[in-house]
Structure formats: C-alpha cells, structure tokens
Structure 1
Amino acid sequence: MSEHPNNYPKLHNAAWPGVVGKGDDDANPVIPLEEMLDLTAAAEVDGRKFDGVDVFLSDPHISIDSTDEELEKVADMVRSRSLDIGSVVAPVWPPTGGGSAAGGPEEVDAFLKQVRKACEIGRKLRQMGVRPNGVVRIDSATATAAWFEDPATNQSKIADTFKAACDIAEEYDERLAAEGEICWGGMHSWRSMVDLLERVGHPERLGFQADMAHTLLYLLGYNAPEDAILPQNFDWQDQERKAVALHELTHALRPWTIDFHVAQNDATVHGTGSHDKTGRHCLPNDPNGKLDIAKDAGHWLRDEHGDVLQVCRHICWDGCMFPNDVMHQGETWNSILAAMLSVQDAHGWNESVS
C-alpha cells in the first residue's frame, strides 16, 4: 500500500460506457449496469480497487423516473460490491425526454424537468448513504449547427436556462457541472464555455466538468477555429508547447472545475448520434494517445502555484465507445485503474479514516 500513499481523490469508473454508443449492432449490445459494476469491482492493481462509479440516469441503466424501491435496488447493487456512487448524468437531450437549453418554452421546460428529476435522485442516493459526493452533469443539449444560426441569442437562452437549473439544484442542495464537449453548442470552445459560466454566475451551483479527452480538442479549435490555442497540424512531440497550451486552457477553466474525468485522446474526433464529433476516448496506453495522463492531469488538479487543490473529492475514468470485446477484458479495467492510481499518486492527498 505504501507505493500508493494517497486515498483521495477517490477513484471512480463510469457506468455509461455500457450504454453510450451501444445497441447499434449485434457485436456491441448495451452492457447492463450490473455487469458494468462487476467489471469495475473486479479490477485490482497493487491491492487497490475502484472506490465507486459515476452513473447515467437513463434506461436501461437507471431510469430517470425510478421509484424509491428501484433506487434502493441500485444502491444495494452498488453497496454489495463495496462501491459508492458519485456524479450522475442528467438525460437532458430530446431523445431521452429533455430538450434544448436554447429552445422554445416547451423544450426548456423539458430540459429543466430532467434536471429536477436528476437532482431528486441525487439527493435520494445521498440519503440512502451510497453517494457521499458528486455532481449532476448537464450540457446544453443544443447542436453546434443550431447554436451557430444565432450565437448571441442562443448563448443568452442557454445561460437563462442554466440559471433556472441552478435554482432547482439549490432546492436539492446539489451542484451542476457542465461538461466541455465540443459537440454541444455554447460549450463547443473553451472561450464559449467560460463565457457561459460567467453569464450564469452561480459558481456555488454550476461549475465545469473537465474531461481530459474532450478538453484536449479545445486546444485545436474544432468547431471554433478562432479559439484554437494550437494549430491543427501541431507536432505532439513538442511537449513544452503542449504544456504552455494546457496552462492557458486550464488557467481559464480550472477556477470553475468541480468534476474531473481522467481519459486519453489521440487528438481526433469520434462519436455517434447526438454525440457525433466529440473527443475520442482511447485506452490509457494507446500508442496514438497524446496525453501524459498523470502529468497532464496536474494542470487541472493543481493550482497556479503547484499546490493540490482538493476540490474534486473523486475523479472518474471516462472511456466511451470502446468495443464490447475490449470492455469485457479484465486487463482493460486493470490498465485503467493503474492510470487512475497514477493520477492519485501524483496529485492526491491522504485523509485518515475516523
């Protein structure tokens, strides 16, 4: 245990890679929540295991309309594997019952209704003792093409919707985190993301969820060339210039960051359906990966003086859209857990157990 002296931030796996991008072909059906929990609980590196999972509040994993009895069953499934639940994803998109945050009154109402349901579930899971920390994850549910039809108006609409979502979150003592994915209008570039957070202006209720795979593409200006920090043909061997670029990016977004996803990216876009053209998640040791995971995570998890921030009580691995045959291999999750441990070792802290 001494080789891994820190016990914070807690190490979580994401359950939603069992759903996102699944079910479109026979080789990659949806992986049930129970199976994702089994894969997570089975991983072990140097005597250490995952501490918890972050979950998707959508069928077929956890219905956004779950009854208390159904939530108790989920809590029992998680507890029985010695895991906790952390952050939860609100299904705010139209196909899952939500609506665009920049849409008309009916769409905005649908968006906010999903936020309320997610906050209520988040609170209930806390009351059940299975969710010690975490946020409710949201995005604008607005395609970039639709946002660009009228950027000023749409950005204002999204900010107003997010302000209303903050009011809901306050009722349930929850915090919302907007994830920086380039496929969502108003959040598609780092400058737009900062602008949106500042317009909402409720840091106690709305913060930023940084995913290392998605935020890497902020540097290249996909969907927003005017906000690129690095050129499209950047030589990724230039570690010094990459570090300077990450410093500029994180200097702007780190003050807002309240939730963190560890991930790898090969500097290309990938996706399916409404998540098209977003950051490609790679396995941690992918030879095409452009991130030094443990080192580059420090740009987010340490302040300008190099001190560990201790803002995120847990960090989560996000690896969407891996083929099922990869996800069913135990070594996949051991390598992921090892990458998570490397981040905890480098930027974590120790809290004694009372």
Structure 2
Amino acid sequence: MNDNNFPKLHNATWPGLVGKGENSEPPISFDDMLNMTAAAEVDGIKFDGVDIGLMPPHFDVETMTDDDIKRLADKVASKNLNIGSMVAPIWGGPILGSKEDRATFVEMVRKSCEIGQKLRELGVRPYGVIRIDSASSPQEWEKDPVGNSKLIVETFRQACDVAADFGERLAAEGEICWGGMHSWRVMVETLEAVDRPNMGFQADMAHTLLYLMGYNHPEDRILPENFDWNDRATFTEALKTLTRALRPWTIDFHVAQNDGTVFGSGSHDKTGRHCQATDPNGKLDIVTDAGLWLRDENGELTKAFRHICWDGCMFPNAVMTNQQTWNDILATMIKVRQQHGWYEPEQVAVGTV
C-alpha cells in the first residue's frame, strides 16, 4: 500500500438501471447500489463516493424538490461517501430529432446542473461533471454527417452555456452507440467544433477499446483487421494513438474492462461490453492501460480530474448483487491509484454536509 489519496475512488450507481427493465432483468434500487458501494472494503480502504444517473426509477429531475436533494445528500453522506459526476437524462430529447427535442435536451441539462449545484452547496459534491451524449444513433448521424454534426455542435454549445451559469462542466461520453461520438476521430472533431471551455470528454476504458476496432465507423479503425490480441506491442501503440488524441479533452474517467466484444440488453443498444475486473477474457491490462489516460506523453500525471469511477453497466443482477463483485472492483481501483495517483492533505472531511 501507499499513501495516495487522489484521485478519489467512486462506483457508479446507474448500472442498476442501464440495460434493465423491459425485456431484461428488473432494475436494482439506488439504495441497494449505494449500500453495496459503502460495504466494499479492501485492506481497510473503501470507496470515496458514487457517480449517479439522474434517471427513473432512481431519480426524476422533473419532480425533485430541494427537500429531495437534501435527503439525497444526507443519505450519501451518512455512508461517508460523496457524489461526483452525474448523468443527465437527455434521451427524451435526441439531438438528431426535432427542434423541440433539442430544446428538451438542453432543458434536461439545465435541470441536472441545478441539482448538481445544490449538491455542491450542501457539501457532498466537491468535484465531478455532468455527463451527456447525443441521444442519437450512429445510423441516424451517417445519413448526413456534416449537417448532423452541426446540429450536435450547436446543441452542445447551448448546453455548455446553460451549464456555465451553474459552474458546471459537461463531458461527452465516448461510446460507439452515440451518433457523432461513435468514432474517436469524429469525437475529437465534435469537441473542437463546440469550442467551449466547459466542454470535455468522458473516457470509459471499455467503450474506448471499441474505438480501436472501428465499430460503427470502420474508416477510423486503428488496430489491423483480424488483430491478434496476443500482440501487446501493437495494442499498446494503438492505445497511445487513441489517448494522444482524446486525453487532452478528458475531464471524466471510467476504469473498466472489455473482452473485445459488443453487448446490449433491455433498451440499450449494443456497445462495448463491460466485463468484471477479474474477467480472464479481458483484453485490457487495467492498471497499466489506465496510465495512458492518467499520464501525459512524458509519463507525468495530468491530475485532470479529482476522481475516477468504475462503470459496470449491463452486468447480470446475480453479479451485481454479489458483494464480492464490488470488493474485486475496489481492489482494482486501489491498484490504479497506487500506480497513477498522488497525495494531498485533506481540506474537507469526506461526506460533510
């Protein structure tokens, strides 16, 4: 063990929702996800917080009152945890839909930022961003790449301006199932065109792995066809190409594992499959490869974000309700911090409200 206390280690609660429900397994409640996070412990070290998805049935931004937000802050703080990044529920307003849809998208960002600001004021959210995507498919984007990219950029700019009023930053999730962010090169072009100081990128190691393989946008494939996964040198060089392009934009980061396949469940489109931290079929060396996101070209820590999060969407409920799953995840997160973290004197007690 070492004394690194940053970045803080978070667990995501939205995997209790994503891919669940109709045509799948039932959702897992927020309280259950919170309790399993709080119960995880490895050699006396525990999670520092949770990242949350502001979506039903966990939350409803349309009806959340100040009292509801205060109860949420108290509940999380009672577990000695903080809240970090939050996912805005923008899917009812796909950017590549109607003008009204885009207005709904921006309004959902506004409501999410308002909740985020209040949680900061309550002392339970000292860091983190608001996560967004285009809420639209790559297939829809491909119908008119130039025109559709313009719509995404314009809507993201509007959302950034709204977020700035609340002191929030927005992170666009890099995932192959979202139009305009389904390729690493298209993602960079989108971020450059938005050109707002509070706009950045949310990297998830499981999802960005699929960028290397050109899923949904083969012209931007980095790894060769029929790649031999035993060729670690070629794989590392591909990851370096990817992280060199996207690291400067990265303001939110998910530690994760992927076995090189896509997967979807419930209403969620196929995307990079999240695997358990100990999955023997995982293609990533999680701790080593996380360093390509957390360190710059010279191997120096970027310290671009104050916390990192584990995202395990679309795990079976039997896996997610097994406490050992979260202990294994925490153990992996600790190793990442040992290798790529730093120490700072604590300024504010964690979980203070």
Q: How would you bin the TM-score normalised by the shorter chain?
A: over 0.9
Say which of 150, 172, 175 aligns to 1:178. Answer: 172
Say which of 268, 284, 295 aligns to 2:288. Answer: 295
CA distance in 1, matches of 2:9, 2:172: 20
CA distance in 1, matches of 2:2, 2:329: 15
Q: CA deviation at 1:72?
A: 1.1
Q: CA deviation at 1:24?
A: 3.1
Q: Deviations for 1:91-111, whole angstroms, at most 9, x for unmatched residues?
A: 1002xxxx1223321111011
Q: Which piece of structure 1 moves more, 56-65 or 132-141?
A: 56-65
CA distance in 2, matches of 1:189, 1:232: 17
Asked if 1:230 is matched to 2:227, the reply is: no
CA distance in 2, matches of 1:274, 1:327: 19
Any conservation in 1 of the 2:212–2:223 contact (CA below 8 Å)?
Answer: yes
Asked if 1:245 is matched to 2:243, the reply is: no
Q: CA deviation at 1:273?
A: 5.0
- Secondary structure, aligned partner of 2:342: coil
| Counterpart code for 2:271 | T
CA distance in 2, matches of 1:332, 1:4: 23
TM-score (norm 1): 0.96
Say which of 319, 326, 332 aligns to 2:319. Answer: 326
Q: Looking at both structures, which has the greater relative contact order when contacts are Cα pairs under 8 Å and sequence separation is at least 6?
A: 2
CA distance in 2, matches of 1:353, 1:55: 23
Asked if 1:158 is matched to 2:152, the reply is: yes
Aligned residues: 346
- Secondary structure, aligned partner of 2:200: strand
Any conservation in 1 of the 2:22–2:267 contact (CA below 8 Å)?
Answer: no
| Counterpart code for 1:18 | G
Q: Trace 1:1-354 onto structure 2 (pairs within 5 A).
A: 3-24=1-22, 28-65=25-62, 66-94=64-92, 99-202=93-196, 204-272=197-265, 275-354=268-347
CA distance in 2, matches of 1:56, 1:336: 19
CA distance in 1, matches of 2:217, 2:111: 33
Q: CA deviation at 1:271?
A: 1.3
Q: CA deviation at 1:330?
A: 1.2
Any conservation in 2 of the 1:4–1:341 contact (CA below 8 Å)?
Answer: no
- Secondary structure, aligned partner of 2:327: helix
| Counterpart code for 1:190 | W
CA distance in 2, matches of 1:272, 1:232: 27
Q: Deviations for 1:273-306, whole angstroms, at most 9, x for unmatched residues?
A: 5531211000011011000000000110000100
CA distance in 2, matches of 1:313, 1:186: 27
Any conservation in 2 of the 1:57–1:118 contact (CA below 8 Å)?
Answer: yes
CA distance in 2, matches of 1:178, 1:273: 23
Q: Which residue of 1 aligns with 2:351?
A: none
CA distance in 1, matches of 2:158, 2:268: 24
TM-score (norm 2): 0.96
Q: CA deviation at 1:220?
A: 0.3
CA distance in 1, matches of 2:267, 2:185: 22
- Secondary structure, aligned partner of 2:334: helix
Q: Give unmatched runs, 5+ long, in structure 2.
A: 348-353
| Counterpart code for 2:170 | L
Any conservation in 2 of the 1:219–1:249 contact (CA below 8 Å)?
Answer: yes
| Counterpart code for 1:171 | D
- Secondary structure, aligned partner of 2:182: coil
Any conservation in 2 of the 1:15–1:33 contact (CA below 8 Å)?
Answer: yes
CA distance in 1, matches of 2:239, 2:267: 27
State the identity as a percent: 61
Q: Deviations for 1:36-55, whole angstroms, at most 9, x for unmatched residues?
A: 01000000001100000000
CA distance in 1, matches of 2:337, 2:40: 16
Computed over aligned residues only, the root mean square deviation of the Cα atoms, in angstroms, reads: 1.1
CA distance in 2, matches of 1:17, 1:85: 16
